Structure 1
């Protein structure tokens, strides 16, 4: 059951393991983004994949997805989506004790120390939020910045955010496209208002783009400062291009703040001190950490979640193993 924010890539995490293990798969794409999945399966059939190996069921998640989760002939569910829906899939899996791999919500910490290379950290942290218009489960939307560089960081990240070209997805000059739907646009804009109401300072963005983009669901890259970890914009998954800057003083405080969330999917640390970086990597309770970069994923290594971000391997040998069962055979001759 794959999400709407990256259907073309998401399906290959599943199809690759299925074809390698000799299993069959039923793909359930999101109702907002089914066409690339349907076309891929058409191409696989044209390439010689036998009928019945890779299948597609479209429809609303509350109908098609729920039916797959409950069906006794489905032995494994791989799901990417909300934590709320993940809980429902866990409940449905008890029908036949299905194997589960769940990649759920996230509110990942991105920790920037004063000794970091700010030229790299500003752009890296910004695109750790703004890439795909913020519609990425492990987006580093909580940006913790050491207090002595907060002002400089905010100034520089605002300049960078304003330089990003937002436009039509098929325009080669565009760097960011639209949000998926009017409902998602309304959700993101509501959080912009929530942030302002909670006392956060809007540094830049926070607007629905007009002019030639008025009929689309375009939001300008948004930066909030004066954010603290108890605000809703720092605790709830927005799934839009909204970056919250939260100050910290010490390594210990950064780790404590980073872990102060119900999620545990991604995270990063920026510093020139490798010992400090490894302290943070070890201390943050999450499925994947990056050092002086953000969002790099290698399917051979894979990643997974902790806490309410889910469980089960996605990528790597462990991912393939979840499609198989162990059988012990003892022979006495």
Structure 2
């Protein structure tokens, strides 16, 4: 038995929710199996919540809001500091949980998933300490106040990272929360609830109810005492949440799907642009909503780019997530494995040129949700692999003849979450970035910035996460006219 499962069982957490500061027995009998993506064996079972569990958690959060919302920024910052410290101290347990529950290579969990998750808490703490909750404009005071009880719905692909990206700024703003983590990767969420309890966060400020979207997600979105829903997930899930929330006219912040372009300009350093582009597209086994899975390149150098892309893919080691040499583990669950295989077959059926990978598991794997890193080249922009979010290690290389055509291809999608542009001419880089319809644009693979607002245009959602803007999502604006110092 893997250590996070054993730890949670021994601590009596695996069969419970975290409500009002207590590990609580669920109301209903329903359970779901948590399956190892590397072995396809059942790791454990967790309970699934219902509307009654949701109501208990929401009422606890409502009671706690009266106290938490009026604490000083310094008090909340001190609480978040303890949460940050405990995540760092328990980093190895979190990393093991991520490798166990969703197949992240242990090296990548240690280097990215866990430390970046901790960064969201640190940033929330630091922004809170200096944030002006009230500013004066002449005789009017403009105040920002916590919106209230927030339902946070997080996905399976970056489990702890997405939890802290929502919980950190929500608590910093003075809100209380009910978290619904994915039932497919719940172990890291339960470990985070332990951190919250051990950090001394007051009862009811943070609550956790596991369950499915149709049951717990819908109950949270429609609950009249929930003031805001923040969801990270598929565009389909975001639409359903918004529909459930509409009758109560609550705020819905959505971070949804993507089909992000990576535009390689004619003056780009091709070896760097392609090798890092492959790495960015296939990080986390391609299971990232902002992964740049459309590589848009000059037609005149398409053959050279194909060579570079195939060579970069051949450096990847798909294998056991607990093996130190592994760079890419399995896909996170059976349903996603099936979808990726379906999309690869669709690309082949449409006659798109396959230059790397293909359907099925890599050689040597008879079980586990392992997929072959796959590249299609000379792709038309109207094909399945160029238009649909695959959420796996599948890259489409699309050629262009002019920079204007490259921009048109980049924007030829219903999504607008992230984008990349590679080149040497600074003015051209910035001009192309300004022309792309997406919430983030990365120029020449910059370092990750936890203060950079993240969110989408078009069907990639609304609202922003990370940084100051991420915290402000959890606030209401109040104008007080005739306010004199």
Measure how far apart 1:96 and its partner are. Answer: 2.2
1:168-247 matches, cutoff 5 A? 168-210=320-362, 212-247=364-399
Measure how far apart 1:330 and its partner are. Answer: 4.2
Query: 1:305 matched to which residue of 2?
Result: 456
Residue number among 291, 310, 326 corresponding to 2:477 in the alignment: 326
Query: 1:281 matched to which residue of 2?
Result: 433
Q: Deviations over 1:44-102 (max 9, x none)?
A: 10121112111111011111111111111111111111111111122222232111210
> Number of paired residues?
332
Cα distance in 1 between the residues matched to 2:476 and 2:453: 20
Cα distance in 1 between the residues matched to 2:482 and 2:310: 69
With normalisation by structure 2, the TM-score equals 0.66
Query: 1:147 matched to which residue of 2?
Result: 299
Cα distance in 2 between the residues matched to 1:272 and 1:332: 52
Between 1:261-270 and 1:107-116, the stretch displaced more is 107-116
Query: 2:181 matched to which residue of 1?
Result: 29
Cα distance in 1 between the residues matched to 2:303 and 2:351: 17
Cα distance in 1 between the residues matched to 2:481 and 2:256: 40
1:88-127 matches, cutoff 5 A? 88-127=240-279
Query: 2:202 matched to which residue of 1?
Result: 50
Query: 2:465 matched to which residue of 1?
Result: 314
Cα distance in 1 between the residues matched to 2:216 and 2:325: 38
Measure how far apart 1:322 and its partner are. Answer: 2.0
Q: Which runs of 5+ in 2 are unaligned?
A: 1-152
Between 1:205-214 and 1:113-122, the stretch displaced more is 205-214
- Is the contact made by 1:99 and 1:322 (CA closer than 8 Å) also made in structure 2? no
Residue number among 74, 79, 83 corresponding to 2:235 in the alignment: 83
Q: Deviations over 1:252-282 (max 9, x none)?
A: 1011111111110011111111121111101
Q: Deviations over 1:200-257 (max 9, x none)?
A: 1110112433555321111121111121000011000100100011100111101111
The CA RMSD measured in Å over matched residues stands at 1.5
Residue number among 192, 216, 219 corresponding to 1:40 in the alignment: 192
With normalisation by structure 1, the TM-score equals 0.96
Query: 2:169 matched to which residue of 1?
Result: 17
- Is the contact made by 2:362 and 2:371 (CA closer than 8 Å) also made in structure 1? no
Q: Is 1:163 matched up with 2:308? A: no
- Is the contact made by 2:345 and 2:359 (CA closer than 8 Å) also made in structure 1? no
Measure how far apart 1:108 and its partner are. Answer: 0.8
Cα distance in 1 between the residues matched to 2:416 and 2:483: 48
Measure how far apart 1:332 and its partner are. Answer: 8.3
Q: Is 1:128 matched up with 2:302? A: no
Tell me, what secondary structure is at the counterpart of 1:233?
A: helix
- Is the contact made by 1:150 and 1:247 (CA closer than 8 Å) also made in structure 2? yes
- Is the contact made by 2:159 and 2:181 (CA closer than 8 Å) also made in structure 1? yes
Q: Which runs of 5+ in 1 are unaligned?
A: none
Measure how far apart 1:298 and its partner are. Answer: 2.1
Q: Deviations over 1:3-30 (max 9, x none)?
A: 1000111111112112212211111111
Tell me, what secondary structure is at the counterpart of 1:328?
A: strand
